[in-house]
Amino acid sequence: MTDISALTLEEKARLVFGADFWTTVAIEDKGIPSAMLTDGPHGLRKQLGGSDHLGINASVPATAFPTAAATGSSWNPELLSRMGAALAVECRVEDVDVLLGPGINMKRSPLGGRNFEYFSEDPLLAGELGAAWINGLQALGVGASVKHYAANSQETDRMRVSAEVDERTLREIYLPAFERVVKKSQPATVMCSYNRINGVRASENHWLLTEVLRDEWGYEGYVVSDWGATWNPAVALTAGLDLTMPSTGKAGPAAVMAAVEDGTLDEAVLDQAVARILAVHERLRADRTAEVAFDVDAHHVLAREVAADSAVLLANEGGLLPLANEGGAVAVLGPFATAPRYQGAGSSHVVPTQLDEPLAAIAEATGRDVVHAPAFRLDGEKDDELLSVAVDAASQAEVVVLMLGLPDAVESEGWDRDHILLPRVQLDALAAVHAANPNVVVVLSHGSVVSLEGVIDKAPAILDMWLAGQAGGSALAQILFGQAEPGGRLAETVPWKLEHTPAYVNWPGGDKVVRHGERIYIGYRWYDATDREIAFPFGHGLSYTTFEHELVGIDVPAATQAAATVRVKVTNTGDRSGSDVVQVYVGDPEAAVDRPVRELRAFQKVALAAGESTVVELELDDRAFAYWGTAGWTVEPGEYVVEIGRSSRDIVATRSITLDVPPVVPTLDIDSNFGDWLEHPVGAKVLERITQSGVGDGGTDLFADEDMAGMMLQMPMVKVADFMAPGNGVQTVEGMLTELDALS
């Protein structure tokens, strides 16, 4: 470990800033090498030549894996760990120390411009997949940079906007995925976001970077800024930021030295930041003991496996899929058949090592005749001739595979969408093709949720490939002809209309403020609470086989603790092998606060041969039953509902359990109301003495009438005391609090 005391103030100040766009500062005479941080997360983006953050300049070829919008639907941590390990190999070969990923922010709205980089609308699913990705990557000595911490859900005004979020919503929705990856994976770095949180920039937020991240969660790595997210280096360092990227030239180090010299920055804080940065990179270098070699073909095969396991079969009326290998012609329609949309735009853009064309892969996968027509233009302009040729091809084919989706220009880092509709020319093409041949398989390529109005009623089969990476074309071909199964389940809800989405009236804010008025009710939590009609629910996905789930039992420990073990028997009742996801949801029907109808609290993906059964055990810890209250994480005694589901709307088994945990004792203070005192085991005794003493002119008359007493339950105790002894309410309650402390 480098001796920090041997470094000069200038050297330390330089070390907390980038040397250039992608590397840290080297001080060779002190034995400190430079480290490289490079964009991810679904592929290595190491730039050649000049550097930029938005992917304009060329980068080295690397495996373009499916984006997180796809891999989130895999519900497969083991597969994400293997993907992380493959990314680590490619980083090692290119001398990359830290890969910037994964992105685990919540999908607050389907309009989010970077939704393709994020896993889910649910923090448990995002956290589990993110932790697995990180563990796979870091096992080979390459650091992760989990991002973007925190409450970063939009691109609109992203460098200035303040996300106004109450603490309960932060704790239950926007922070748990980060907490999970910190505790399960200890990522090398955490990347702070651009936005403010309740008025304070993420890079300068001591509560976020120090009190929560380090003091509560025990984070041991270093915090790096998103590129350009640091505004005041001295304030940021004091808050808990360690490394500012990219280079600020001489300005940043000079500002830090000046702050130390004038006493506004404690040099010990600077020393701590330097020590964290150096310790992380020394540890990563020490972990690079295993030799690695980049097998380009093997990584392409893995990318194909990930794409297939992430593909979601939304509908399959009449068992249209999989297609037989022999039969009439297959019409493959749409420009995505020859120019696939396989990744998003912006800083995560990868130059693939190869790219499978869907049309060629489909033709290779079958002995059937395969014909192609573009059908529509990607620029959205109407073209009757293209459509006429496609309709003619459809009318002569036995089945149609129509590839629809969002063009590159529609979704990218840097801006949000303003609607969730597929282009009109694509919907018109589907309507015309369906009229000519009703056997239509729609294949979707997109990174953010789209409305499927005009699709569901005209496509017996709908296969969502998301942004499936460089091997998506061959994965699609294998799925269509049954050589692989679509293994995905939705990681986010598909609504009918944008107006139905929970953040609709609060998106994207204005005057540099966005209010999270929907609170904890994002995604399926909102749709289930409001019983909103949706197109497809969170967790939904079909297989080429069928499964039966049986709730075998729920074991609750005899001790008074909040925990349970759920045992579910899963049987493949079909005639071919396949995979399914056991989803466990928990609800609290008699909570002291409003809570969602159900929340995902455990899941496990299982692969079974035809006729095979297995029993899976899923553990529920105290957080599975808790909400964030005034006393922190709170589990109330009483009844909880445990549900086994195929989705948040397809519940196949329900059982109630009782937790015999200690009752919640509220904390009383000067603002507590009459009801709080009445429910407090010790406070009630103090209250009884006060009310019986007849303090002041009000005496006990206030409590003689039950209706009057009921009206006062939510009245601050100070005001109740004021009625009893006019003008002395605060003094009375302060005395009650003193007595409470003495009796407690």
What are the residue numbers of the active site? 226
CB 193 within 8 A of CB 226: yes
DSSP helix, strand, coil percent of the chain (3-state; round to 5)? 35, 20, 45
Which ranges of 322-471 would DSSP assign to H, the alpha helix? 358-365, 384-396, 424-436
Closest CA to 655 of 645, 644, 665: 644
CB 37 within 8 A of CB 22: yes
Cα Rg, the chain, nearest whole Å: 29
Which structure tokens are listed for 688?
């009884």
Please tell me the distance from the alpha carbon of residue 505 to that of residue 509, in angstroms, as a whole number. 9
Classified as helix, coil or strand, 555 is strand
Please tell me the distance from the alpha carbon of residue 463 to that of residue 450, in angstroms, as a whole number. 13
CB 648 within 8 A of CB 584: no
Please tell me the distance from the alpha carbon of residue 293 to that of residue 92, in angstroms, as a whole number. 9
Closest CA to 173 of 595, 588, 534: 595
Please tell me the distance from the alpha carbon of residue 640 to that of residue 622, in angstroms, as a whole number. 12
Tokens 């990174």 belong to which residue?
447
Number of other residues whose CB lies within 10 A of the CB of residue 388 = 13
Residue 716, amino acid = P
Closest CA to 105 of 126, 133, 135, 131: 126
φ, ψ for residue 48, nearest 5 deg: -105, 140
Closest CA to 242 of 543, 18, 575: 18
φ, ψ for residue 145, nearest 5 deg: -130, 85
CB 123 within 8 A of CB 520: no
Please tell me the distance from the alpha carbon of residue 657 to that of residue 86, in angstroms, as a whole number. 43
CA distances from 11 to 7, 32, 241, 552 (A): 6, 11, 18, 62
Tokens 């790219």 belong to which residue?
355
- In DSSP notation, 640-707 reads EEEEEESSSS-EEEEEEEEE-PPPP-PPP-TT-BHHHHHHSTTHHHHHHHHHHHT-TTTTTGGGTSHH
Residue 515, amino acid = R
φ, ψ for residue 618, nearest 5 deg: -120, 125
Residue 591, amino acid = A
Size (the chain), residues: 744
Closest CA to 441 of 474, 484, 471, 398: 398
Beta bridge partners of 639: 658
Please tell me the distance from the alpha carbon of residue 739 to that of residue 228, in angstroms, as a whole number. 53
Please tell me the distance from the alpha carbon of residue 733 to that of residue 731, in angstroms, as a whole number. 6
Write down the number of H helices and E strands in the chain: 21, 26
Please tell me the distance from the alpha carbon of residue 318 to that of residue 626, in angstroms, as a whole number. 43
DSSP state of 205: -
Number of other residues whose CB lies within 10 A of the CB of residue 703 = 17
Peptide bond into 662 cis (omega under 30): no
DSSP state of 171: I
Residue 676, amino acid = D
